[in-house]
Each structure stands twice: as structure tokens, then as C-alpha cells.
Structure 1
Amino acid sequence: MKLSPPRPDRRRFTRLALASGVALAAPRAFAAETFDPYDEVITDGPARITRRISGLSSQKWEDHFPTLGNGAILCNTNDRVLHFWGEDGFYKIYPTSVPLTDELTRRGRTEIVLKRPAPEWRPTPNMLERNPDLPKYVGPGPQNPLGVRALNLSWQYYLIHGTNDIRKIGRQSSSGCIGLFNEHIIEVFERAKIGTQVLLI
């Protein structure tokens, strides 16, 4: 009798992957359960891999910043990861979501100008132009697309924030912001300061 190979333990794989900081694939046909204006519209075909699984390769801060005063954040939109260096030597890499298109992606140097521990959300004028049906305001809580923390950058409307929809991480799924798992944005939020330098590449 021919024996079939054992079926993979998907739950164990998911736990191991998340523990290592890897963004997992999500089916394209998965229906949205909560409001999220950053979600891609998913209408076609069977389940497919829509996320990029990054190797999360480390970087040297000296290759991107002149100093670690106030800490430093590097957002790599190609690899879909955020590198955080603290001025105390702390270093960690986090998987992220990135903008939907290159047109929505802003690159260059900026800094954190505001830390919001319970962010409220309002669509930008460009978002309302693209989708007039968006709500004009969403308060803090499980329906908020900014998750549990938000860091405002010096560029108007650009943020590093959490998300209540973990399917977004590892995907091109935002209107310009960089998104992290809620547990990861909490870590970054606690270590980042007003004036922390940020570079998007």
C-alpha cells in the first residue's frame, strides 16, 4: 500500500513564521471582515500568494545615517521591511505593508514629528477623490485602519502606524503609509522619539 506524505502542520508553520518576523501569504479570495480603506479590491480567481516573504536581511545604520542621535528608521519599500536602530544600540527588523503603487510611494529623508498613542483616522483629500464613499472619520478602536499606534512624519499625511488587519503586512496595500503589526508598532512607538530620523527607500 502506498502511503501519502504527511500533511504540513499549517498552524505550526504560521506560529514559527510569525515568531521569526516573516510576513505570511494570504489568500486573494479572503473577504474583508472589517472596514479598511487601504485594502486592495479582491475579486478574481482562487487563492493565490499575494505577499512577499522577505529574507529580512540586516543593514548597517552607517550606510544610511550620519549618526544614531534620537535613533533611526529605515523603511525599505522593495523588501517591505522596517529597520529600527536605537541610540542605545538596539536593532530590530519588522515586516511591513507598503503603498499600493509607485505613484503613492514617497522616498527620501524625513523624521517623526508626532506620536499618537490612540490614533483617530480621517481620509486625505486624495483618498476621498479616489473613493468618495470613505467615512470622514474613524475613532480609535478595532475598526481604525491605523491600528493601536501612529507616528506622524514631517511629510503631511505620511505615517508609520499599526493595523488591525494583519493580512496587509507584506503586501502593497496602503495609500502611502508604512504599516506594521500592532505588537510591532507598539515596540517601535515606545523606542522612537520626536526627531527620530526616517529614511524611505
Structure 2
Amino acid sequence: MTRLRSVTAVALSILLALSIVAPVSAARVYNSFTNTWEEPSAVATRNKGGSPIRRETVDYSGNYRPGTIVIETSERRLYLVLEDGKALRYGVGVGRDGFRWAGTHRITRKAEWPGWTPPPAMRKRVPDLPAYMPGGPANPLGARALYIGSTLYRIHGTSEPWTIGQAVSSGCIRLTNDDVTDLYERVRVGATVVVKH
């Protein structure tokens, strides 16, 4: 009887420990590249090394005012125009086939660790998406978001650095969390955004 009580106590201790740990380990991360939910450990493994495209200052001959963001979707690059014929160049992920767009808008809002409300069309394509996701490391918008005009699109971070340089999104422009945080600090609300094919 004493042995049975000991085994029962150990079993209850294990169950209690699992119930405390389970909510943390059960949190899954949405991978928009594959349209699936993944374990955070899989994402952490792929996250090593940051962006495959290094951020750098380059010569830039475009006819844009300093502070303008120019996104060259065919190059998979974002240029923040600086003074004296220079630009800061970032690697980006862009819209996949059928989701590319072009136009000139302004940054209308900036947010740190933004929440995400997937648009109805996206929820129709991916039915298991939540109606809302609070901001945080598992959120597909990443560490920062710059909202583009009245569009549904944003320039935002991602915890999926392997997607930088790829056409993977539903139209948003994504940077690594490090790069989007850097861009966020440099860009003001009202800045012009030019998206080109």
C-alpha cells in the first residue's frame, strides 16, 4: 500500500509538472513559408545566423529624397535613401506569385511587437489561423511593423530569417527582426514608400 501511494505521488508530480510546462511548450509558431504551424525549437534551429543578406550602405543613384524607402521586389532589396547619393540596403522577403504589388504610399503608423489580425481572405486560405494574435516572438509580424498607407500591407519583422531574399509573403515586405528594428529607428511616420517590380 505504501508503495502504491509512492507511485501515485510520483505520477501526480509528473502530471503536475507537465501541466505547468505544457502551455509553454505547446505554443507553436506560424510559418507562412509553408503555411503550417511549427514547434518553436524548429524555428530556433533555423534562426541561427540571421539574415542571409547583409545590411550595408551602398551608392544609390535614384531620384528620391533622403528618408524615402524604395523596395525593389525583383531584387528582394529595400533601400532607405540617405544623403549624398547613398542608401542603406536591406535584404527582404516579398510577396509570392499572385501577391506582388507596386505603388507609392506613405508610412501611416509604426508599432513595436505589433498584434496581428489576419485579413479574412488569408483566413479563408489558411483556415486554422487565429482571428487575432498578440504581439511577441511567435507573432508573424515580428519585432516591429511599419504600416503602408491604407493598404493591408506592412514592412515588418520575421522570426524566419531563412525567408529573406525569397518571394514568400501575402504581399507584406519582411525583414529580420534585427533589420526591421534598425529601419524602424531611422524612419518617421509620413515617410514615402515606393514599391517597384
Q: What TM-score results when the alignment is normalised by the length of structure 2?
A: 0.70
Task: Figure out how many residues of one structure are paired with residues of the other and give that number.
Answer: 154
The match for 2:92 among 96, 118, 129 is: 96
Gap change, CA 1:94 and 1:150, over 3 Å in 2: same
Give, in whole Å, the separation in 2 of the partners of 1:87 and 1:112.
20
Counterpart residue identity of residue 95, structure 2 = P
Gap change, CA 1:135 and 1:36, over 3 Å in 2: same
Gap change, CA 1:36 and 1:181, over 3 Å in 2: same
Q: Considering fraction of residues, name the structure with more helix.
A: 2
Indicate the residue corresponding to 1:173 in structure 2: 168
Give, in whole Å, the separation in 2 of the partners of 1:150 and 1:72.
16
Give, in whole Å, the separation in 1 of the partners of 2:189 and 2:35.
35
Note the C-alpha offset of 1:192. 0.3
1:198 and 2:193 are equivalent in the alignment: yes
Counterpart residue identity of residue 94, structure 1 = Y
SS at match of 2:29: coil
Note the C-alpha offset of 1:156. 2.2
Q: Considering fraction of residues, name the structure with more strand.
A: 2
Percent of aligned pairs with the same amino acid: 34
Gap change, CA 1:53 and 1:181, over 3 Å in 2: closer
Gap change, CA 1:150 and 1:53, over 3 Å in 2: closer
- Unpaired runs of 5+ residues, structure 1, are 1-32, 43-51
Give, in whole Å, the separation in 2 of the partners of 1:175 and 1:41.
11
Q: C-alpha deviations, 1:124-180, integer Å up to 9, x for none?
A: 111012112111111111110011000001032110001011121111111110000
1:39 and 2:33 are equivalent in the alignment: yes
Q: Is the 8 A contact 1:112 1:197 kept in 2?
A: yes
Q: Is the 8 A contact 1:37 1:134 kept in 2?
A: no
Q: CA RMSD in A?
A: 2.7
Gap change, CA 1:194 and 1:34, over 3 Å in 2: same
Indicate the residue corresponding to 2:117 in structure 1: 122
Give, in whole Å, the separation in 2 of the partners of 1:34 and 1:172.
23
Give, in whole Å, the separation in 2 of the partners of 1:130 and 1:90.
41
SS at match of 1:61: coil
Gap change, CA 1:83 and 1:129, over 3 Å in 2: same
Give, in whole Å, the separation in 2 of the partners of 1:90 and 1:98.
23
Give, in whole Å, the separation in 1 of the partners of 2:127 and 2:114.
22
Counterpart residue identity of residue 34, structure 2 = E
- Tell me which structure has the larger Cα radius of gyration: 2
Gap change, CA 1:136 and 1:87, over 3 Å in 2: farther
Indicate the residue corresponding to 1:163 in structure 2: 158
